[in-house]
Structure 1
């Protein structure tokens, strides 16, 4: 782009045009307004009311840099260093997955289940594979009486999660731990929730390039021949560490809903509920454990 400055409306048109070979126009436009609000505190309505607003030469340099990175399919959330999840702001970087709307649905399901509980009742919640901390922090923010714990194998992910907890003014106990090597959680929890790695290698071709090339594979993929490895391990731990009638919640691979239900039935979990996400895919599951037996 040769011009040293642009009217913002003119730049917007060119920005979208340059991205549409890679993204659809609606997504490209959403990127523009996300960046505009983050970098300039301007919304769509501000641009409509003040069509003659311009970018300075220095601002154009920043925008062009972001544009080139978007062309390389680096996620806009990483470029901005933040995203929104369940009404809260979260820092994100290459060490953590970008939170998805489907995971917000899981958080909403857990919160719905707590509405009928006595407000003064203290509950203990464990989030396994916390990443950015989005699940643990959202639950801590919306259940003030909860004691929330969060585990992750990645120290770098936990550093990001701790920052997010501080920024959202909640108290979460973070633990650096490999859940697959854990024999006992050492305490009882009323809720155990996990969004573990669940994408099989055979499904990589379905993953968008911007995800595949930028988000941490440690948090995404499992081997094709042992796709439920994390679920089985967490369910085994839940058998010993869920309080009586405590709830276990999972986000799951959309193609493995039946396999997940079969696994939990064999492990003697009760009241197994499989739910679809907003896109109509089997995406989340809840159950509880009355007996601590019948491990497989």
Structure 2
């Protein structure tokens, strides 16, 4: 058993998490540059003197200064790792690509299609190569807790679905929206890649709560997605998102067992470059992300 440190990366409309004790905002330095914002640390009371450690990061920064393409995803995940985070819940605003997923609906995503092209997608690279599996990109244990939280809070949700990640910042063309529907995608957004890939490399369990804000432009009554409509639904969803996070933290408890799928040990079989050939500068930058395995060498 290890101590639970539940990380939350809050997307549009979810910039903070009230109700924590001993809370503080703290800047975390990383070798990958500046994270989106300071990290919000705190303890969620569970009763009987028990608490769960929580770390919150506003993905776009407080006041939303960062676009999806300008977010420093590597710095964000590295900072969470340095903060001791064991599990991450990503809260993300998305458009729906299916009639049965209306605005206000939550989707507990289990797959992604990554169509981004302007972002750094790995901590590893020239001089130190590693390949982690992304066949099943989210943590099913976290998904179970999120599903139970939705049920307990009477939140309309769907378990399972493919999140199509586009570059942005513009919304889709009608042709693109229809193409993604033909692929069987459930929702579309701009932020969960490479976030999920980097969390996997950092051996942090990861799951997404996708909050539907609109039908994207494929829908005959939603031909033009407007920010004002999105923000209105975001504000309505924010309270539900916080209720889900609180319930997940409570059900997880202060201690956790290792991932049944080995998601917190993926680097055991991912490192390819032999120790003698590893770039010392890159090894140094990986002190948090890959420190568990590097310290064993």
With a CA cutoff of 8 Å and minimum separation of 6, indicate the structure with the bigger relative contact order. 2
* Same topology, TM > 0.5: no
Task: Report the TM range for the smaller structure's normalisation.
Answer: under 0.3
Structure number with greater Rg is: 1
Normalized against structure 1, the TM-score is what? Answer: 0.28
Normalized against structure 2, the TM-score is what? Answer: 0.28
